[in-house]
Amino acid sequence: MNRSPLAARVGMAAFLAVAAAFFLLPLYVMLVTSLKPLDELRAGALFAWPLAPTLAPWRTAWSEACTGVACEGVRAGFMNSLAIAVPSTLLAVGLGALNGYALALWRVRGANWLFGLLMVGAFVPGQVMLYPLVRALGTLGLVGSLPGIVLVHVVFSMPLMTLLFRNWYASLPTELFNAARIDGAGFWGVWTRVLLPMSAPMLGVAAIMQVTGVWNDYLLGLVFAGHDFAPMTVQLNNLINTSTGTRQYNVDMAATLLTSLVPLVVYFGSGRWFVRGITAGALKG
């Protein structure tokens, strides 16, 4: 009778190990390739650890590789991505928390219809809305500007952010809300003094999702950011698809790892908090 649970655990461990190896193998290949000189790459041995590890491809990818007309590496793209991700995250999380609070606890007229429209927007493919958004931002003079790309990211994130915070606030005891109102707290007082301090797990979940989504975005950055504010993903595409000169696979892999560094740090550094926030009520309600 004791063999069945043991066999199940062994089978599950074996499956997880194979799955982890399957997903980590490309990352390993990228890492070892980025540390090899070109002569060693031409010799083959794709999975072999570099005989003479070097960080020269990383330095080239960061500050010297050509990502278009300019040959300044992906450093400028990193700063652009940072300038896009920070305000996009702060505004999206703040507005999503406010929307979720209003829809969950303040039964205003038409709230259900508004929430339904937001959910419909969450399932409409982004490509369908590109042309109308380009026309709208062009009319406002925001195409190719930092405020324009930030606005687009905030708008696209509103359905998901609102859903997360609405379900979170709906899972909290309504007695807290009622007691704060009896004590004389108004709309803003209840939110800022009572509910927002209790929302730390959900704020962390929303921030992780928004930072990861904005940083990994390519399509919106390509269409709306313009040349001056092109994020790292757009510059990475320009670098890898450059057809002139010798193909430097080690530099390409180093640039790819540099581009994915922030999402990887966010994942490994806050993955535990993300799971805690989800299990604490992100999908309840």
Tokens (6 digits) for 246: 């010798």
157 with 18, same domain: the answer is no
Q: Determine the average pLDDT of the residues in 74-79.
A: 91
150 with 241, same domain: the answer is yes
How many structural domains does the chain have? 2
Tokens (6 digits) for 63: 């500050």
Residue 64 lies in a domain: no
Q: Determine the average pLDDT of the residues in 229-252.
A: 84
17-31, 215-229, 265-279: least confidently modelled range: 265-279
pLDDT of residue 18: 92
pLDDT of residue 275: 65
176-210 CB burial, b ≥16 within 10 A, e <16: ebeebeeeebeeeebbeebbbeebebbbbbbbbbb
Alpha carbons 213 and 84: distance in angstroms, whole number: 11
Which amino acid would we find at residue 133? L
Does residue 283 carry a pLDDT above 60? no
Q: How confident is the model at residue 243 (pLDDT cuts 50, 70, 90)?
A: low
Residue 63 lies in a domain: no
pLDDT of residue 110: 74
Which amino acid would we find at residue 36? K
In sequence order, what DSSP letters do the residues of 29-60 get, joined into one string?
HHHHHHTS-HHHHHT--TTSPPSS--SHHHHH
Q: Cβ atoms within 10 A of the Cβ of 40, count?
A: 19
What would the pLDDT profile of 28-40 be if each residue is shown by its tens digit? Answer: 999 999 999 988 8
**Which CATH number belongs to the domain containing residue 153 in this structure?**
1.10.3720.10
Print the domain residue range for 16: 3-54
Give which of 208, 210, 206 is closest to 281, Cα–Cα: 206
Give which of 251, 238, 246, 248 is closest to 68, Cα–Cα: 238
Contact status, residue 98 vs residue 191, Cβ threshold 8 Å:
yes
Give which of 226, 231, 229, 227 is closest to 216, Cα–Cα: 231
42 with 83, same domain: the answer is no
Does residue 284 carry a pLDDT above 50? no
Residue 70 lies in a domain: no
Alpha carbons 161 and 121: distance in angstroms, whole number: 12
Q: What is the 3-state composition of the chain as percent helix, strand, coil, each rounded to the nearest 5?
A: 75, 0, 25
216 with 249, same domain: the answer is yes
Residue 62 lies in a domain: no
48 with 87, same domain: the answer is no
Q: How confident is the model at residue 233 (pLDDT cuts 50, 70, 90)?
A: very high
175 CB-side CA count, 13 A:
1
pTM of the model: 0.83
pLDDT of residue 1: 45
Residue 181 lies in a domain: yes
Tell me which of 208 and 122 has the higher pLDDT. 208
